[in-house]
A and B are shown apart, each in its own frame.
Chain A
Amino acid sequence: MMKRLLLASALVALVPALFAAQATPPAAPTPAGASPRNPPAPKGPAPKFPDGTPDLSGVWSGGGAIGDLAAGLPKGETIPILPEAKKIMDARQSKDDPEANCLPTGVPRVAPYPWRIVQTPTHTFFLFEGNIHSFRQIFMNGKHPADPDPTWYGHSIGKWEGNTLVIDTVGYNDLFWFDFRGHPHTEKLHTIERYTRTDLGTLVNEVTIDDPGAYSRPFKVTFNARLRPNDELMEYICQENNQDVHHIQGPAGTP
Chain B
Amino acid sequence: MYVRPGLIACACLLATLPAVAHHSFAAEYDANKPVTLKGIVTKVEWTNPHARFYIDVKDAQGQVVHWNLELGSPNVLTRSGWTRKALSVGDQVTVEGAAARDGAKMASARVVTLGDGRRVFGGSSGGDAPPPVPAK
Number of interface residues of A (CB under 8 A): 65
Contacts of B25 in A (CB 8 A): 255
Contacts of A99 in B (CB 8 A): 22-23
Asked if A249 and B27 sit within 8 Å, CB to CB, the answer is: yes
Asked if B6 and A31 sit within 8 Å, CB to CB, the answer is: yes
Asked if A255 and B19 sit within 8 Å, CB to CB, the answer is: yes
Which one, B21, B76, B82, B131, contacts A33 given CB within 8 A? Answer: B131
Asked if A236 and B118 sit within 8 Å, CB to CB, the answer is: no
Contacts of B17 in A (CB 8 A): 35, 37-38
Q: Which of chain B's residues has its CB closest to A236's CB?
A: B48
A217 to B13, CA, bound (A): 37
Interface stretch (choices A81-89, A163-171, A201-209, A238-246):
A238-246
Asked if B21 and A243 sit within 8 Å, CB to CB, the answer is: no
Interface: A91 (CB within 8 A) = no
Interface stretch (choices A60-68, A119-127, A137-145, A188-196):
A60-68
A10 to B10, CA, bound (A): 13
Asked if A29 and B120 sit within 8 Å, CB to CB, the answer is: yes
Asked if B24 and A30 sit within 8 Å, CB to CB, the answer is: no
A117 to B111, CA, bound (A): 34
> Do A25 and B120 contact each other (CB < 8 Å), given the known contacts A35-B10, A35-B17, A255-B126?
no
For window 77-122 of B, CB contacts with A under 8 Å fall at 77-82, 86, 100-102, 104, 106, 111, 114, 118-121
Asked if B119 and A31 sit within 8 Å, CB to CB, the answer is: yes
Number of interface residues of B (CB under 8 A): 60
Contacts of B28 in A (CB 8 A): 94, 244, 247-249
Contacts of B35 in A (CB 8 A): none
Interface stretch (choices A11-19, A46-54, A71-79):
A11-19
Interface: A102 (CB within 8 A) = yes
Which one, B45, B78, B130, contacts A25 given CB within 8 A? Answer: B78
Asked if A111 and B22 sit within 8 Å, CB to CB, the answer is: yes
Which one, B18, B75, B118, B126, contacts A31 given CB within 8 A? Answer: B118
Q: Name the distance in Å between A179's Cβ and chain B's nearest Cβ.
A: 10
Contacts of B42 in A (CB 8 A): none
Contacts of A37 in B (CB 8 A): 13, 17, 76, 79-80
Asked if B20 and A112 sit within 8 Å, CB to CB, the answer is: yes
Q: Which of chain A's residues has its CB closest to B47's CB?
A: A241
A241 to B68, CA, bound (A): 13
Asked if B118 and A2 sit within 8 Å, CB to CB, the answer is: no
A28 to B102, CA, bound (A): 34
For window 196-240 of A, CB contacts with B under 8 Å fall at 226, 231, 234-240
Contacts of A245 in B (CB 8 A): 23
Interface: B16 (CB within 8 A) = yes
Q: Name the distance in Å between B64's Cβ and chain A's nearest Cβ.
A: 21
A35-B121, A130-B48, A242-B48 are known; give 8 further A-B pairs, CB within 8 A: A29-B77, A33-B6, A67-B19, A102-B49, A113-B73, A234-B74, A244-B50, A247-B101
A-B pairs, 8 with minimum CB distance: A34-B6, A94-B27, A26-B81, A100-B23, A241-B47, A29-B120, A255-B19, A30-B80
Which B residues lie at the A interface, using CB under 8 A? 1, 3-10, 12-13, 16-28, 45, 47-50, 52, 68, 70, 73-82, 86, 100-102, 104, 106, 111, 114, 118-121, 123, 125-126, 129-131
Which A residues lie at the B interface, using CB under 8 A? 2-3, 6-7, 10-11, 13-14, 18, 21, 25-40, 61-62, 66-67, 94-95, 97, 99-100, 102, 111-113, 129-131, 180, 226, 231, 234-245, 247-250, 252-255
